[in-house]
C-alpha cells in the first residue's frame, strides 16, 4: 500500500508541474495590442499667424491755429462728420483788425508820397533815388498789410480733409496758439483704415519666402490677403492687403513694422481701435498628423507605419509647421501610408498589432 501511495503522489506532482508549465507559457506570450490606425492622404491646409495691431484712419490730421487768439466760435461737435474746407473754428481778430487798419493807412501814406515825387523827378527837381526810396517804402507797407490780412484769414480755421472730428479740448474763450500742448482737434478720415503690426525677423523672412514661392517679387503687391479680428473677437467682413513692409529691422527689438490696409465703407472701424491681424500660410500637398501619433527619438520626430503583416516600423518625418494639436508634414511619408494613431509611446519596431482603422 505504501508503494501505491508513493506512486500516486509522484504522478500528482508531475501533473501539477505540467499544468504550471503550460500556464507560464500562456502568460509569457501576450496578445498583440489593438490600436487605431489611419491612412494618410495629401491635402492643402491654411494656417494663420496672429499679430496684435493698432488701427489708424487713413488720415489723422491735427488742427493747429496759425495765429494766436481767443476761440470766438466753435462750429462743430466732437464726433461730427465734416467735409474738406468746412469751417471748424473762428478766433477773435479785433486786435488784428486794428493792426490791419493801421497797415492800410501806412500804405495810403506811402502811396501819396510816391505820387508826390513822381512829377518832381520828371521835372528834375529831385533825384530819382528819392523816388525809388519812396517806392520801396510803399512796397514794404503793402507787404505788412498783406501779412496782417492773411493772419485775419487764418482766424477762420477749416478742415483740410473729409473725416470725423475728435476731441475738442479748448472751448469758447480759451486762448490758443501754435505753441500750445494740444491741437484744437483732430480730423480722422476712416473711409480706409491702416492696421499697424510687428513681427520678428524670422517671421518676416518666412513671409518673404512664401511670397517668393508664389513666383512673385517680394513686395506689397504680392503679399497675401489678410484678415482682421476685431476687439469683440469677430472677424471684420472686409479682407485687407499688406501695403507696407518696413525692411529696416529694429536692432533693439529685432522686430519690423508692417501695415495692412482695409476698406471701411460702413465706418465700422475707428481710429485708435485695436485687434489682431491674421496672415495665412498655405501648405500644399501635405500630411496632417496628430502630435500624439509621434514619438521623439534623440531629437527626431518619428511615426509608426503599419506593414502588410500588421507589424510596425518607425519612420522619421520632417515637420514644416504645426498647430496646437497637429504637425504638418511634407517629407518622409508617401500618400496612402497607414500610421498608428494611438498608443505609440509603448510600441517597438517589429511589434505586431491588431489594427483598427479610424
Question: For residue 92, which phi and psi values (nearest 5 degrees)?
Answer: -70, 130
72 HSE (CA, 13 A, CB side): 11
Cβ contact 220:242 at 8 Å: yes
The label of the residue with cell 500556464 reads 23
Q: Greatest CA span in the chain, whole angstroms?
A: 180
Per-domain boundaries in the chain:
34-45+285-357, 49-58+192-282, 65-89+158-182, 93-154
Q: How far is residue 290's CA from residue 327's CA, in Å, rounded to a whole number?
A: 6
What global pTM score does this model have?
0.66
Domain topology for 93-154? Helix Hairpins (1.10.287)
9-57 pLDDT, tens digit each = 444 544 445 555 444 444 555 688 999 999 999 999 989 999 999 999 9
| Residue 346 CB partners (closer than 8 Å, separation 6+) | 33
**In this structure, what C-alpha cell is assigned to residue 353?**
498589432
| Per-residue pLDDT tens digits of the chain, which is 358 residues long | 444 444 444 445 444 455 554 444 445 556 889 999 999 999 999 899 999 999 999 889 999 998 888 998 999 999 999 999 999 999 887 666 566 666 677 767 778 777 877 777 777 777 778 877 777 887 887 787 677 666 676 888 999 999 999 999 999 999 998 888 899 999 999 999 999 999 999 888 888 887 776 655 556 666 788 999 999 999 999 999 999 988 888 888 889 999 999 999 998 999 889 999 999 988 888 999 999 999 998 889 999 999 999 999 999 999 988 888 999 998 888 899 999 999 999 899 999 999 998 7
> CA of 106: how far to CAs of 75, 103, 141, 244, in Å?
35, 5, 6, 55
The number of beta carbons lying within 10 Å of the beta carbon of residue 249 is 14
Cβ contact 67:151 at 8 Å: yes
What CATH architecture does domain 65-89+158-182 belong to?
Beta Barrel (2.40)
CATH number corresponding to 34-45+285-357: 2.40.420.20
111-151 pLDDT, tens digit each = 877 787 777 777 777 777 887 777 788 788 778 767 766 66
Compute the mean pLDDT over every residue in the chain, rounded to the nearest whole number: 84
Cβ contact 263:192 at 8 Å: yes
What CATH architecture does domain 49-58+192-282 belong to?
Beta Barrel (2.40)
**In this structure, what C-alpha cell is assigned to residue 148?**
496782417
**Percent of the residues in the chain that have a pLDDT greater than 90, as a whole number:** 48
Q: How far is residue 72's CA from residue 77's CA, in Å, rounded to a whole number?
A: 15
Tell me the pairing of strands 318-322 and 326-331: antiparallel
Amino acid at each position: 500500500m505504501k508503494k501505491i501511495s508513493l506512486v500516486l503522489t509522484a504522478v500528482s506532482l508531475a501533473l501539477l508541474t505540467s499544468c504550471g508549465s503550460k500556464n507560464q507559457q500562456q502568460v509569457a506570450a501576450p496578445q498583440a495590442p489593438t490600436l487605431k490606425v489611419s491612412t494618410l492622404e495629401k491635402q492643402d491646409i491654411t494656417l494663420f499667424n496672429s499679430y496684435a495691431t493698432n488701427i489708424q484712419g487713413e488720415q489723422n490730421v491735427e488742427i493747429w491755429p496759425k495765429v494766436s487768439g481767443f476761440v470766438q466760435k466753435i462750429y462743430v461737435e466732437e464726433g461730427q462728420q465734416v467735409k474738406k474746407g468746412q469751417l471748424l473754428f473762428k478766433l477773435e481778430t479785433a486786435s488784428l483788425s486794428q493792426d490791419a487798419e493801421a497797415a492800410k493807412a501806412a500804405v495810403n501814406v506811402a502811396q501819396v508820397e510816391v505820387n508826390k515825387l513822381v512829377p518832381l523827378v520828371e521835372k528834375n527837381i529831385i533825384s530819382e533815388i528819392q523816388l525809388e526810396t519812396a517806392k520801396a517804402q510803399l512796397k514794404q507797407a503793402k507787404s505788412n498789410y498783406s501779412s496782417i490780412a492773411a493772419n485775419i484769414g487764418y482766424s477762420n480755421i477749416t478742415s483740410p480733409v473729409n473725416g470725423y472730428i475728435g476731441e475738442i479740448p479748448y472751448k469758447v474763450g480759451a486762448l490758443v496758439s501754435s505753441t500750445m500742448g494740444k491741437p484744437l482737434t483732430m480730423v480722422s478720415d476712416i473711409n480706409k483704415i491702416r492696421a499697424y503690426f510687428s513681427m520678428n525677423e524670422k517671421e518676416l523672412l518666412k513671409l518673404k519666402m512664401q511670397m517668393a514661392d508664389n513666383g512673385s517679387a517680394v513686395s506689397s503687391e504680392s503679399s497675401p490677403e489678410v484678415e482682421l479680428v476685431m476687439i469683440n473677437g469677430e472677424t471684420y467682413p472686409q479682407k485687407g492687403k499688406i501695403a507696407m513692409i518696413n525692411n529696416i529691422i529694429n536692432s533693439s527689438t529685432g522686430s519690423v513694422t508692417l501695415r495692412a490696409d482695409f476698406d471701411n465703407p460702413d465706418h465700422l472701424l475707428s481710429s485708435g481701435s485695436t485687434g489682431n491681424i491674421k496672415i495665412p500660410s498655405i501648405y500644399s500637398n501635405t500630411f496632417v498628423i496628430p502630435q500624439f501619433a509621434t514619438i521623439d527619438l534623440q531629437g527626431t520626430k518619428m511615426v509608426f507605419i503599419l506593414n502588410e503583416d500588421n507589424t510596425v516600423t518607425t519612420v522619421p518625418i520632417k515637420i514644416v509647421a504645426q498647430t496646437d494639436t497637429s504637425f504638418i508634414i511634407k517629407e518622409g511619408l508617401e500618400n496612402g501610408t497607414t500610421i498608428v494613431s494611438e498608443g505609440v509611446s509603448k510600441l517597438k519596431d517589429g511589434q505586431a498589432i491588431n489594427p483598427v482603422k479610424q
